[in-house]
Amino acid sequence: MKKNITLLALAISSSLTFNQLALADQEAYRIDNTHSFANWSIRHVASKTSGTFSDITGKILIDRTDLTKSIIDAKINLLSVNSSNAKRDENIQKEEYLDSAKFSEMTFVSSKIVAKNKTEGTVTGTFSLHGVAKQMTFPFKVLGFGQDPWGGNRMGLEAHTGIKASDFGLVWATKPNAPVGDDIEITLLIEGVKLPAEKVIK
């Protein structure tokens, strides 16, 4: 009996040590919403209009040695839309477009990452907008790591994707002679501030 208890204790100890090692290579970064942007463009009549959402929050857990162990969890505040025209920004937030008074956020939570190499890969996860959640997969690139002027450490990510507004119940493009298109091109430029080791949790 004593031998069995000892073996069980060793097994638990080994398991804990393995889990600690599994987390050891993960670094946690808080998304810096003053240096992160979700840039977008969409057809307007015969051209395109572009802008950004500048309020992005969340966390990134990244394993530099194995990108597949990384995790992304981000929220974008739709009220932070900026198309360089205040009147247009107000219009974008109205019920006929984003209806941001009712649906003020879009979110993305990763579920799988496939690495192409040490800095590039594809990420799959759940993207939620306008009360609709869908699985998405898109490419991303780790831009690098570095020390900032305030003694902290940062990392950068870039990703490109696109969505159809109508897939999320946004129907402006389905109206006759609609001046605004259905396809939205998105470029994510994300900068993260490294958090203390105790913040590295799943």
94: CB partners within 8 A, 6+ apart: none
Per-domain boundaries in the chain: 26-199
Is the per-residue pLDDT at 136 higher than 90?
Answer: yes
Collapsing DSSP to helix, strand or coil, 131 comes out as: coil
Q: Show the tokens assigned to 171.
A: 């129907």
Whether the Cβ atoms of residue 189 and residue 39 lie closer than 8 Å to each other: yes
- Closest among 98, 125, 126 to 114, alpha carbons compared: 125
Query: Phi/psi of residue 66, each to 5°?
Result: -150, 95
Gap between the Cα atoms of 182 and 100, Å rounded: 18
pLDDT in tens, 4-57: 444 444 444 434 433 443 455 799 999 999 999 999 999 999 999 999 999 999
Distance separating alpha carbons of residues 119 and 124, to the nearest angstrom: 16
pTM: 0.83
3-state helix, strand, coil in the chain (%, to 5): 25, 50, 25
* CATH of region 26-199, choose from 3.40.50.150, 3.30.200.20, 2.40.128.110, 3.30.1360.30: 2.40.128.110
pLDDT in tens, 149-187: 988 999 999 999 999 999 999 999 998 999 999 999 999
Burial annotation 102-134 (CB, 10 A radius, 16+ → b, else e) = ebeebebebeebeeeeeeebebebebbbbeeee
